């Protein structure tokens, strides 16, 4: 399967991705995780992306299209993939169509994590992540066994620099202005499935499985 996950920051894309990925043996490509890794490693890509990310704005289409084009070549992505956080603009969606057309494949489903903005601040400000894997926890909704420690590796968890109420405002603005049109773009192709992303994680998982079965 070739899937796109779209939704505002904190809607649960990163939480559902590993479950969907294991169920259907797909690769998981999260542009946000890749960009954060590049920023931490101070690669040329990271240096270019850092400022926009800290302000809660989107990084340039060319940068993320380049990352995805390269990542789609991975052997683990040949049987199918989950794109998490990409495309986020109509230009990115058009470029993705070209990339997939060149490879003779197309997107099967776009999972739209529909949720009210009002819920997102609590989700975002309580989020803790394990940077190496991208695993996310929540102080209230999904606490780790030991506070501040990743269940799987025992390594420390961190809070993202952009996970503040103030930066969330910009990220939501970017979502409504630039990413909502992406949902319409795929809506015209009749491949969008709307999820009730405000429900608890297991219920969202059940909806996803139903849509994909
Ligand atoms: P995204 O990848 O869309 O930004 P995450 O999956 O990282 O979102 O979720 C944001 C925060 O909310 C995390 O701390 C996560 O543990 C928590 N979370 C995810 N899904 C739910 C849910 N259905 N109900 C409550 N909290 C959730
Ligand atoms: P969230 O999980 O909270 O939705 P991400 O981790 O996907 O956020 O993205 C974090 C930041 O990385 C974004 O605010 C943006 O600056 C940048 N980013 C990630 N994906 C893209 C993309 N497809 N296009 C442009 N910028 C992106
Ligand atoms: P993985 O080893 O699973 O690929 P990484 O975190 O090392 O995970 O990188 C994830 C992806 O991010 C890479 O596959 C690559 O496509 C992309 N990436 C990371 N850094 C760069 C960079 N400097 N230029 C282009 N793409 C990059």
pLDDT band at 9 (very low <50, low <70, confident <90, very high): very high
Round the average pLDDT of the chain to a whole number and report it. 97
Q: How distant, in Å, are the alpha carbons of 59, 139, 163 from that of 147?
A: 32, 8, 18
Q: What is the arithmetic mean of pLDDT over 88-108?
A: 97
The predicted structure's pLDDT at residue 27: 96
pLDDT band at 81 (very low <50, low <70, confident <90, very high): very high
Share of residues in the chain with pLDDT > 90 (%) = 99
Domains and CATH numbers, the chain: 2-117+166-212 (3.40.50.300)
Give the tens place of pLDDT for each residue, 125-180. 999 999 999 899 999 999 999 999 999 999 999 999 999 999 999 999 999 999 99
Considering Cα of 202, then 204, then 207, then 209, what sign does the dihedral take? negative
pLDDT band at 111 (very low <50, low <70, confident <90, very high): very high
Considering Cα of 100, then 182, then 112, then 125, what sign does the dihedral take? positive
The predicted structure's pLDDT at residue 169: 98
41 token code pair: 């490693």
Q: What is the arithmetic mean of pLDDT over 29-46?
A: 96
Q: How far is the CA of 5 from the centre of ligand 3 (A)?
A: 19
- The Cα–Cα gap between 122 and 85 comes to 20
Q: Give catalytic status of residue 127 as yes or no.
A: yes
- The Cα–Cα gap between 16 and 27 comes to 13
Phi and psi at residue 19, in whole multiples of 5°? -70, -45
SS (H, E, C) 37-90: HHHHCCCHHHHHHHHHHHHCCCCCHHHHHHHHHHHCCCHHHCCCEEEECCCCCH
Pocket of ligand 1 (CB under 6 A): 7, 9-15, 123, 126-127, 136-138, 141-142, 200-201, 204
Q: Which ligand approaches the C-alpha of residue 62 most closely?
A: 2
- Write down the catalytic residue from 2, 48, 160, 199: 160
The predicted structure's pLDDT at residue 150: 98
Q: Which residues is 56 bridged to in the sheet?
A: none
Ligand 2: residue of 4, 5, 13, 35 to mutate (most ligand atoms within 8 A of CB) is 35
- Write down the catalytic residue from 21, 88, 95, 123: 88
């Amino acid at each position: 399967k070739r899937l796109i996950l779209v939704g505002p920051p904190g809607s649960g894309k990163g939480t559902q991705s590993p479950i969907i990925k294991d169920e259907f043996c797909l690769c998981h490509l999260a542009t946000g995780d890749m960009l954060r890794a590049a920023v931490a490693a101070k690669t040329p890509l990271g240096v270019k992306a850092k400022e926009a990310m800290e302000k809660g704005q989107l990084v340039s289409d060319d940068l993320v299209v380049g990352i995805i084009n390269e990542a789609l070549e991975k052997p683990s992505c040949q049987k199918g993939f989950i794109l998490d956080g990409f495309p986020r603009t109509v230009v990115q969606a058009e470029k993705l169509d070209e990339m997939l057309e060149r490879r003779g494949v197309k997107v099967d489903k776009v999972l739209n994590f529909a949720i009210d903005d009002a819920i997102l601040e609590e989700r975002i400000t309580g989020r803790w992540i394990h940077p190496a894997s991208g695993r996310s926890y929540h102080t209230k909704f999904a606490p780790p066994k030991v506070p501040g420690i990743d269940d799987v590796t025992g390594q420390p968890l961190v809070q993202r620099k952009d996970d503040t109420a103030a930066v969330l405002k910009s990220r939501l603005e970017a979502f409504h202005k630039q990413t909502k049109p992406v949902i319409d773009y795929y809506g015209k192709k009749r491949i969008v499935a709307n999820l009730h992303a405000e429900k608890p994680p297991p219920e969202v998982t059940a909806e996803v499985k139903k849509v994909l079965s």
